Amino acid sequence: MKVILKKDVLNLGRSGEIKVVRDGFARNFLMPRGLVEVATEGAMRAWKNSESKRTKRVTAETGALTGLAKRLDAITLSFSRPVSEEGVLFGSVAKSDIIKNLAAADIKVAKEMIRLPASIKAVGTFEVEIALKHDIVAKIKVAVSAQSK
């Protein structure tokens, strides 16, 4: 099925691109979420006519996300977790913990934006990437310390 991407879709493409995807993927996943529309002649004509508005919107959105990325680069999140006598961390720091701390600082990010392959299970300072858009990535520092008893 030939579709027009309304929004950026990870591992598929950027907004405005025309892609060929499997029918089931389009009908069951992309269309219900409002990510695509079927690429009929009329839809493609309408999409090209509204290109200037879309370009302005994308430029403004990119500027805002770049500002947010600069703000995120300056952030260091601190977590305190209990540690055994051998220095092994009880529990971990997961994506949900990072989201809660960022929400406390009035920064809202989706769980999918945080690039953390596995929960942090060690004491120390770590860099965590947050993909705000395909080409806009911010890096925050996450400091995990031993909880005092």
Is a pLDDT exceeding 90 seen at residue 19? Answer: yes
Nearest to 18 by CA among 65, 62, 51, 61: 51
Domain 68-146, CATH among 3.40.50.10860, 3.10.430.100, 3.30.450.20, 3.90.640.10: 3.10.430.100
pLDDT at 33: 94
**Total residue count of the chain as it appears in this document:** 149
CATH of domain 2-49: 3.40.5.10
- Of 35-39, 43-47, 53-57, 129-133, the range with the highest mean pLDDT is 35-39
State mean pLDDT over 12-22. 90
pLDDT at 48: 86
State mean pLDDT over 98-111. 90
pLDDT at 90: 85
Model pLDDT for residues 69-99, shown as the tens digit of each residue? 999 999 899 999 888 887 778 888 999 999 9
Kindly list the domain boundaries of the chain, sorted by start residue. Answer: 2-49, 68-146
Strand order in the sheet with 36-38: 18-20, 2-5, 36-38
d(CA 42, CA 108): 37
pLDDT at 10: 80
pLDDT at 52: 84
Largest CA distance in the chain: 68
d(CA 130, CA 96): 13
Nearest to 43 by CA among 2, 4, 1: 4
Cβ–Cβ under 8 Å, residues 14 and 8:
yes
Nearest to 97 by CA among 75, 73, 80: 80
